[in-house]
Structure 1
Amino acid sequence: MTELAENPQQVDALPLGPESLVWKYFGDNRMYLIGPRPAVLQNMLAELGQGVLDHSVFFSDTAARVKRSLPPIFMTVYGSDDDNRGIQVRDFHKDIKGDMPDGQRYHALDPETYFWAHATFVEQVLYFADTFVKRLTEAEKEQIYLESKTWYRRYGVSDRVMPADYAEFQRYWDRMMDEIVVAHPTAKYGVGYVTKGFPCPKGVPPLAWKLIAPLFNPMAAFLTTGGMPPRGRDLLGLPWSDRKEKAYQAFAALWRTKPVNWAWDRLPMSVRYNTFAQQGYARG
């Protein structure tokens, strides 16, 4: 499969499955190390952030929104070509529409908006693997992107804005980050805990949280802020420094070392992968 990725002109997309790199990385539980990067970046597209602001329970119950949104996406990736949740994910968005503050209309199924949401997940896989697992080769990046095209087409939406290959995707990503994304209130809310700390989660006794928070909050802020692209960090006004950047890079480099990867790869599948990935690999 990697050989195909070295010659992207030969193929339009690559399949998902046990041999795919998207399967290998997307459901890996080390993904928590990148923090909420894709969710925050999604909401930095004004139309998408507005849709969440107008229609989602994100503000009243953030955990419920995550629990509802992520499983169908994982089941889209780890399902088969004939049995996945892609169409259902698309249909969740049919009624997410309204007016922007300037009076322009938005709709979650507008191709530019829908693809940006997907692009943040694709970039999530690329960023996570390259930062916390191993430095990806150009062929591996190409392979991941070509596999992501198969993933996107499972949603049954227009792919007219989807870049043809990884190089084009890079140009698309850079343009979005440099020219399009903004510090939308939804995105700012999503990273508010970086400076304010997390409120006590539902179901956690206040006394227990009082003991946990001094340890949890700094680590959450470190992973969230370090895991954001510099441009996103600047737009959102997230506090960072050269010292913290060096610490973050050292932390990431530790995870990429051979001993850490060797140990991780020998842990049980139930530890290394989420439930949806485990089910996919079990099915084969």
Structure 2
Amino acid sequence: MTQVAPSPADDVRPAPTPADPQVEYAPLGPDSLTWQIWGTWTGMLQGLWAGSIQNMHPKLGQAVWDHSDFFGERWQRLLRSLYPISGVVFDSVAGAETGHEVRDYHRTVKGTMPDGSRYHALDPDVFYWAHATFWYGNVRLCERMGPWLTEDQKRLLFEESKAWYAQYGVSMRPVPDTYEDFLEYWDHMCRNVLRDHESVRTVLDISLLPPPPFLRFIPKSIWRKHIAERNAKFFLWLTTGFYDEPIRELMNLEWTERDERMFTLLGRVVNLVMHRMLPKRYLRHPRPRDAWDRVQGRVPMNAPLVETPTRNLPPVDERDNPMHYCPMHAARRATYPGRVDGD
């Protein structure tokens, strides 16, 4: 597997070390539990949790603050990023190496911390933390919103997360050995490493955001006056429910027994509607749905990947930036729910 080899000046060592487990991991496929439960639109309920807890890592938060226009085009960046993020898991059936693509977006993301130390997005400990929030966010979402998981299924998801992470072609050194080891790692990060940061607070404050693209029919004046503030309060409450208690304390966010009861009730409703009543195929994001369509014969195995709608592309002056996923000339492009142009 190709390994990243940045210059020594970057202070990053993603290449194998003697401590690296030299194990070849096959890409995950439709028989995996990750394929079964990940990649659905229910993940949007957890979007603020994922974005904020990632940025609580001091180096990752600083990198986002220094390099990302995330705060200038929040909706577009989020919605287009879902394609390569989910593609790391699902694109292998189309012969794509999306993990390497995602890794390469981060090659030039480096800089200096306030204390003068260096950071790089491909620092193994930084890059693994981002991955940990993806795969463990899957567990946390299932714990709170369904489908409910057994402890054995959580352990299986952890083992599958190793194969998922291996697709990036970076050092496996930070990966814990067992699920129990991972839980210790997660608790240590929450209690001792993660920090409040301007990038975290900016992610959590969505009160000034315009309507998301799928609600563009709502006039901005009505959105700002009647919806935006209520929407922001609800999603902050929702995000607080997903946080571990040490993170709530870090962020000074109150969580009462009543909040927990309301959150549990909401989780049961979401599980009933999203996982028992709605057709699974249309609950999936376009990229995972396309992968399932391939293995089920709906789409040829050699068809081009489904790419993000043009409305989600980066600003014109940023489209040549190597940090961006920017499919300008896609043969197949998602448009509206359940529709793909080019089929």
Q: Return the TM-score normalized by structure 1.
A: 0.85
In 2, Cα distance between equivalents of 1:268 and 1:281: 11
In 1, Cα distance between equivalents of 2:269 and 2:26: 31
Of 53, 76, 86 in structure 2, the residue corresponding to residue 41 of structure 1 is: 53
Gap runs ≥5 in structure 2: 1-22, 296-343
Match of 2:221 in 1: 207
Q: Are 2:253 and 1:238 aligned?
A: yes
Of 276, 280, 284 in structure 1, the residue corresponding to residue 291 of structure 2 is: 280
Match of 2:268 in 1: 253
**Structure 1 residues 110-119 or 228-237, which shifts more?**
228-237
Of 113, 129, 148 in structure 1, the residue corresponding to residue 126 of structure 2 is: 113
Match of 1:229 in 2: 244
Q: What SS does the corresponding residue of 1:168 show, helix, strand or coil?
A: helix
Tell whether the 8 Å contact from 2:191 to 2:247 is kept in structure 1 after alignment: no
In 1, Cα distance between equivalents of 2:141 and 2:168: 23
In 2, Cα distance between equivalents of 1:83 and 1:199: 34
In 1, Cα distance between equivalents of 2:198 and 2:141: 26
Instruction: Provide, for residues 107-165 of structure 1, a one-character-per-residue CA deviation record: whole Å limited to 9, x for no partner.
Output: 00010000000000011111112221133212101111111111111101111111122
In 1, Cα distance between equivalents of 2:173 and 2:76: 32
Of 65, 77, 82 in structure 2, the residue corresponding to residue 65 of structure 1 is: 77
Instruction: Provide, for residues 178-213 of structure 1, a one-character-per-residue CA deviation record: whole Å limited to 9, x for no partner.
Output: 1110112111211124xxx34434755223313433
Greater relative contact order (CA < 8 Å, ≥ 6 in sequence): 1
In 1, Cα distance between equivalents of 2:172 and 2:129: 12
Q: What SS does the corresponding residue of 1:66 show, helix, strand or coil?
A: helix
Which residue type is aligned with residue 62 of structure 2?
Q
Q: What SS does the corresponding residue of 1:103 show, helix, strand or coil?
A: coil
Of 181, 187, 190 in structure 1, the residue corresponding to residue 200 of structure 2 is: 187
Q: What SS does the corresponding residue of 1:80 show, helix, strand or coil?
A: helix
Q: Give the direction of change, closer, same or farther, for the CA distance of 1:159–1:51 in structure 2 (3 Å limit).
A: same
Match of 1:7 in 2: none
Q: Are 2:185 and 1:175 aligned?
A: no
Give 1:239 deviation, angstroms: 4.2
Instruction: Count matched residues.
Output: 267
Which structure: greater helix fraction? Answer: 1
Q: Give the direction of change, closer, same or farther, for the CA distance of 1:154–1:253 in structure 2 (3 Å limit).
A: same
Match of 1:127 in 2: 140
Q: Return the TM-score normalized by structure 2.
A: 0.72
Tell whether the 8 Å contact from 1:27 to 1:273 is kept in structure 2 after alignment: yes
Of 90, 94, 100 in structure 2, the residue corresponding to residue 87 of structure 1 is: 100
Tell whether the 8 Å contact from 1:51 to 1:108 is kept in structure 2 after alignment: yes
In 2, Cα distance between equivalents of 1:255 and 1:274: 17
Q: How does 1:5-44 map to 2 (within 5 A)?
A: 16-44=28-56
**Percent of pairs with identical residues:** 35
Q: Are 2:165 and 1:165 aligned?
A: no
Q: What SS does the corresponding residue of 1:90 show, helix, strand or coil?
A: helix
Q: What SS does the corresponding residue of 1:98 show, helix, strand or coil?
A: strand
Q: What SS does the corresponding residue of 1:143 show, helix, strand or coil?
A: helix
**Structure 1 residues 137-146 or 66-75, which shifts more?**
66-75
